[in-house]
Amino acid sequence: MARRGVSGARRGGAWPSAAVPQRRCGWGAGAAMSEPGAAGPSPAAIQVSRIMRPDDANIAGNVHGGTILKMIEEAGAIISTRHCNSQAGEPCVAALARVERTDFLSPMCIGEVANVSAEITYTSRHSVEVQVNVMSENILTGAKKVTNKATLWYVPLSLKNVNKVVEVPPIQYARKEQEDEGKKRYEEQKLDRLETKQRNGDVILPVINPEPHTVGYSQSSLIHLVGPSDCTLLGFVHGGVTMKLMDEVAGIVAARHCKTNIVTASVDAINFHEKIKKGCVITVSGRMTFTSNKSMEIEVFVDADPFVDEPRERYRAVSAFFTYVSLSKEGKPLPVPQLLTETEDEKRRFEEGKGRYLQTKAKRQAQMQQSAQQ
């Protein structure tokens, strides 16, 4: 069986990041990580650094959004797994359950260094919230900038029984308000995960001879056989691997629609509904749902077919919305062709996407006004 097949051309990059190496570790060439207790924002923080190589970027030299998402998840998995095993108890591995919305603030390029720092900010009885910041550094000029901020939620799964969620050691808060704010975020993400799972029955069907700029024209799928290198110690797919594949498919959809250089601008909350086991064949499907003058929203699904050990029906494992922008050769934003909706479902999804776009735009404007007043 072919390991992986792709429907469509190779994709674009991201508005991504970089940093300063510290102590050497086994993350491959150019990678480094600080230990807990080393110099940093707190004892419960880590830092991972890696130089961006040509295979991390698109043909324009912009680093793929999926590459950055994978580094973010790896840092989150390290710190949450380490924390969950910090006290005597059942050995466990932290599994990614959700990634909150994250914006790609500026492009990262080949040759820059990505510095990913992660810190635990809240724990419930069975989950861990991790805040991750990504910084880029031009090692020729020394220029640095923050390129990503992300919030991830992990649950610890027992090494002896993968269906058992073990208890999380509590963390100490500097102020009672920090715990209260964390609990509020925890309850909000639980509700959103439930609502997302309930609307996950959609499927993407092939379209014969679609017209340009329609949903069917740009929709794309990728098929991937899950191997050992994709998985955790428990034999389930790393969340970062899944997100990288999702970003790749979303990039293909955006490139087919625009036929220009495209980069990831943001990712809405990514919900991991079910684990994906080694040996599964996963289908990652994407379709355009909304376009504004200068951005595109792409909905991406991940469906899993478990063929090995425990045959069962295909199931929806992950879902998310990605936003892309079109760039000129000089890196300037270009107008996006209007999406042509044909069916009632496509028109409904377009209006839903428009609502999300306007809500995000209003929130961003409110944040800018608040910053200006400070």
Q: Find, among 39, 21, 19, the residue nearest to 31 by Cα.
A: 21
- Find where tokens 């051309």 sit: 9
C-alpha neighbours within 13 Å on the C-beta side of residue 185 = 23
Which positions are annotated as active-site residues?
Answer: 58, 247
Label residue 173 exposed, middle or buried (CB < 10 Å: 0-12, 13-18, 19+): middle
- What pLDDT, on the 0 to 100 scale, is given for residue 39? 34
Cβ atoms of residues 55 and 46 within 8 Å: no
Contacts of 265 by beta carbon, 8 Å cutoff, 6+ apart: 15, 103, 104, 295, 323, 324, 325
Model pLDDT, residue 13: 56
Chunked into runs of 10 residues, the chain (374 residues) has average pLDDT values of 42 42 33 39 74 93 94 96 92 94 91 97 96 95 94 95 92 93 93 69 76 95 94 92 97 95 94 91 96 96 84 88 93 94 95 94 84 74
Whether 156 contacts 84, CB under 8 Å:
yes
Give the pLDDT of residue 199. Answer: 58
Contacts of 153 (CB under 8 A, 6+ apart): 96, 97, 98, 99, 100, 127, 128, 129, 130, 189
Q: What pTM was computed for the model?
A: 0.82
- Paired with 237 in beta bridges are 231
Write the CB contacts of 26 (distance below 8 Å, at least 6 apart in sequence). Answer: none
C-alpha 306/C-alpha 325 separation (Å) is 35
pLDDT score, position 193: 78
Of 296, 254, 289, 247, the closest CA to residue 270 belongs to 247
pLDDT at position 41, please? 36
For β-strands 13-14 and 261-267, DSSP reports them as parallel
Nearest to 222 by CA among 270, 314, 285, 289: 285
- Residue type for position 152: L
Beta strands in 92-219, from DSSP E residues, in sequence order? 92-99, 102-103, 113-123, 128-137, 144-158
Amino acid found at 23 = R
* Residue 287: per-residue pLDDT: 97
Amino acid at 1: M
CA gap 100, 83 in Å, rounded: 21
Crossing angle for the helix pair 239-258 and 65-84, nearest 10 degrees? 160
Structure-derived torsion over alpha carbons of residues 15, 346, 188, 324, reported in degrees to the nearest 10:
0
- In whole angstroms, how large is the CA radius of gyration of the chain? 20
**52, 146 contact by CB (below 8 A):** no
Contact 40, 120 (CB under 8 A): no
3-state secondary structure of 249: helix
